[in-house]
Amino acid sequence: MDIGAIDYFANGGNSFLHRASTRYKLIFVALVIASVVITDDFILLLSVYLILTAFVILTRLPFLKIISIASYPAIFALLFAIASWNGNWIGSGVIVFKALDAALATVLLIVTTPYPNVFAALEPLLPKVVVEGLFLTYRSIFILLELIDNLIKALRLRGGLTPGRYLKNIINFSSGIGLLLVRGFDLSERFYGVMRIRGYNGKMAELESKKLDKRDAVPILIGILVLALSLAGYVRNDLSKYYIYAFMISILSVLFTVSYTYIQKSRGLNWKN
Amino acid sequence: MSHMHIPDGVLPFWLVSAGWIVTLAILYISIRWSSGIKLEQKLPLIGIAAALMIVGMTLEIVPIAYHINMSVIAGIVLGPALGFIAVFIVDLIIAMFGHGGITVVGLNTLIVGAEAVLGFYLFRACLSVLRRGGISIGFSSALAALFSLMLSTSLMIGIVHISQINPSEALHNDVQNSGQSIVSHERGYLYEDSNSQNRRIDTVRFAKTVLFLGIFGWVLEAAITGFVIGYVSRVRPDLIFSKAT
C-alpha cells in the first residue's frame, strides 16, 4: 500500500470523480457497500466490479496501480473462501468479488479526494477527538515514512541489517522503531503546536458547498442504480436472472471507456504530469 | 495477524452492526474517561502511535497479508482509553485504503482494541510481578504482547465462529428447516434459499490456519514489542510511565 502515491493521485488529478463533491462520493461508496452487503449474486458483483473498473479508467490514473491497491483485501478474502469451500466455486467467487467491489469503491474515493476533504466530510459523524486524531495520524504517516526511509538507509549503511543475522536484525530494527516513535512524537508535537499557533482549533474548514451539483450526478446515479439492482434481486429472487443484462452493459462500459481514453490519448495522463 | 481482513458483506449484518454498536459505546466511554486530561498534549502521541500501527500493518512480512500490528505498543504508550481511540482511527483509515471492510471496522476495533487494552494491563501486571525478580521492562512488554495477541486471535476466531449463528434462523428453527435449499438451474448453478448456507465456514479449519500462521506472528511481534518498549523506556521513560488514560 503506497500511501504517498495515493496522496499524489488524490491531489494531482482532474477527472470527473476528482471534481465531484466529497459528500456525494461518500454516499456513492456507501451505496456500493450497501449493495455488496445485500447481494450474493456473482454476476451482479462482477458487473459492479467492471463498472468501477470503468470509473478507474475514466479517472486517467495508473490503472494497474489502482487495481493492485484495491486487490489487497482479496488475499484474505481468498483465505476466507478456502475456509468456507464447499465445492461451489461461485460461493468463493462471491466472497472474493464482495471484497474487490467494496475495496475498489473505497479506493476510488481515496485516490480522487484529498484527505482533508474526506475528514471534513466525516466531521459531523464522528467525535472531535477522532477527527483530530484522523488528521494527525494521516499527517504522521508521512512523517514516519520519511523517517523510516532514512532509518533503513542508515541501518544498511552501518551493517545493522545483515543477511543471516536474524536476531541482531530484529534488535536493530526494533530499536529503529523505538527511535521512530520518539522522533515521530517530537515532530508531531511540534507540527500540532504550529497548527495551534496558526489558529487551528480542532475544526476542519468547510471546503465544499452542500448542494448537489451536476458533477456529482454520475457517481450518485450509478450508486443508486447498483443498490436498486441488489435490492430487486434480494426482494424477488427471480429478477436476478436479468443481471446478465447489467453484466453486458458493464462490459460495454469498460470497452467504451478504454476506447475513449485511447482516442483521447489520456491514459495515465494525470500521473505522468 | 489478528486484524480481520474480512471484506464487506461476508459477515452477517446483525454481527457487524453489533460490532459497530459495541465499538461506539466503548469509544464514548473512552472519550469520557480521557476528558479529564489535556488532550492537546496527547493528540500528537495518538497520531504517531496510530501512524506507527498503520505503517506496521501495511508492511507485509510474508506475502499473504501477514503483518505486525504494534497495537500493544500503542496500548502501553497511550493507555487503554486513548489506545482504543487510536485503534479505531487506524481501522477507519486502513478500511478507507481497502485493507478490510468498512462494515467490519467495528469488529476489527474490538479485536485490535482488545490487544491494546489487554497489552496495557498485562504489561503493568507483568511489570509489578516480574520486576522484583530483576526482569526487564522489555521482557514484560514482550510477555504482554504474546498473551494479548493469543487472546485477540482467539477473539477473532470466536467472532468468525459466531458469525455462522443467525439469530432469526435460530429463533425460527422449529418452524423452518434451515437446511432446506431451493435448487435453481436457471443459470446453470446452484442457488440456496438462505445465502448464508452457501458460506458455512469450517471453524476448525479456519482456526487451524489462523493459529498455525499466528504463532510465528505472535513470537515475532512479542520480540519487536519487547525491544521497542525496552528502547523507549531507556530514552523517554515518561512516554511509558505517564498517568494511564
Q: What is the pLDDT of residues A86-102, one digit of tens each?
A: 777 888 888 888 888 98
Question: Considering only CB atoms, which chain A residues are within 8 Å of B39?
Answer: 129, 132
Q: Determine the distance in angstroms separating the CA of B227 from the nearest CA of chain A, rounded to an integer.
A: 6
Give me the pLDDT at residue A270, please: 52
Question: Considering only CB atoms, which chain B residues are within 8 Å of A47?
Answer: none
pTM of the model: 0.80
Q: What is the DSSP letter of B6?
A: P
Please tell me which of A43-57, A113-127, B201-215 the model is most confident about, judged by mean pLDDT.
Answer: A43-57
Confidence of residue B190 (pLDDT cuts 50, 70, 90): very low
A interface test, pick of B1, B8, B14, B31 with most A CB neighbours within 10 Å = B8
Burial of B183 (0-12, 13-18, 19+ CB in 10 A): exposed
For the record, the C-alpha cell of B142 comes out as: 514482550
User: What's the CA gap between B90 and B108, in Å, rounded?
Assistant: 10
Q: What is the pLDDT of residues A100-152, one digit of tens each?
A: 898 899 889 989 998 888 888 888 888 888 888 888 888 888 888 888 888 88
A interface test, pick of B64, B89, B181 with most A CB neighbours within 10 Å = B89
Of A104, A141, A180, the CB nearest to B54: A141
Of B27, B98, B239, the CB nearest to A73: B98
From chain B residues 29-88, the ones with a CB under 8 A of any chain A CB are: 31, 34, 39-40, 43-52, 54-55, 58, 64-65, 70, 73, 77, 85-86, 88
User: What's the CA gap between A17 and B78, in Å, rounded?
Assistant: 38
Q: What is the pLDDT of residues B93-125, one digit of tens each?
A: 888 876 777 888 999 899 999 999 999 999 999
In single-letter form, the type of residue at position B105 comes to: V
Three-state SS for B66?
strand
Question: Considering only CB atoms, which chain B residues are within 8 Å of A130?
Answer: 27, 85, 88-89, 92
Q: What is the pLDDT of residues B229-240, one digit of tens each?
A: 988 988 888 888
Torsion of CA A190, A154, B67, B209, to 10 degrees: -160
pLDDT for residue B25 is more than 50: yes
Cβ-proximal residues to A22 (8 Å cutoff; 6+ apart), any chain: A113, A117, A118, A120, A121, A207, A208
